[in-house]
Amino acid sequence: MLIEERLSQCKLELHPEKTKIAYCKDDTRRGSYPNKSFVFLGYSFCPRKAQSRSGNRFVSFSPAVRSQAAKKMHREMRSWRFHRRTDKSLEDLAHISNAILRGWINYYGQYYKSALYRVFGVFNRILIRWVRRKYKRFKFHQLRASHWLRGIACKQPWLFVHWQKGFKP
């Protein structure tokens, strides 16, 4: 019995544009085919550069956070409008955001964690913007605000979840 027949018994069907066979190209499979990547559950599976434990570099077919999922995370972080919450302390901002950040790290950080550096870099810039609005001495000094926040991250790495995982400003 074919897959299509089994799916039709459940009143399901395959989408012809979305259903395709992808070639999992890596260092051991060097062929050339039109579909070399696919997207599934917020992950993008495609050939990526990797490094072995011994330090050798190679190409691996591995999943990482999809660019559209990263953009969605950026929009979510910006919707919190932390730069407008100067009445809150840094601990309050951590309390507001840590549950969501932890969920993203647990879901998307399982594979190719370095793809999340850009996502949490955006969040660190949001925090720097908050510092610049909260404290007058940093209003025109983005680099000083960044250094101050980095100092806080080194002294209190448990404050934000992404700092604990190594995504410091």
| One-letter amino acid for residue 33 of the chain | Y
The whole-chain average pLDDT of the chain stands at: 90
3-state secondary structure of 2: coil
Which whole-number Å values give the CA distances from 135 to 28, 67, 86, 163, in the listed order?
Answer: 55, 34, 9, 22
pLDDT (tens digit, 9 = 90+) per residue, 31-49? 777 788 888 888 988 888 8
Q: What average pLDDT does range 89-112 have in this prediction?
A: 94
In degrees rounded to 5, what are phi and psi of residue 43? -105, 145
Asked whether 159 and 90 are in contact (CB, 8 A), the reply is yes
| One-letter amino acid for residue 141 of the chain | H
What is the domain partition of the chain in residue ranges? 3-65, 67-164
Residue 151 structure tokens: 């100092």
Structure letter (DSSP) for residue 65:
E
Predicted local distance difference test score (pLDDT) of residue 37: 83
In degrees rounded to 5, what are phi and psi of residue 132? -65, -30
Compute CA 64 distance to the chain's CA centroid, rounded to the nearest angstrom.
8
pLDDT (tens digit, 9 = 90+) per residue, 9-31? 888 887 877 777 777 777 777 77
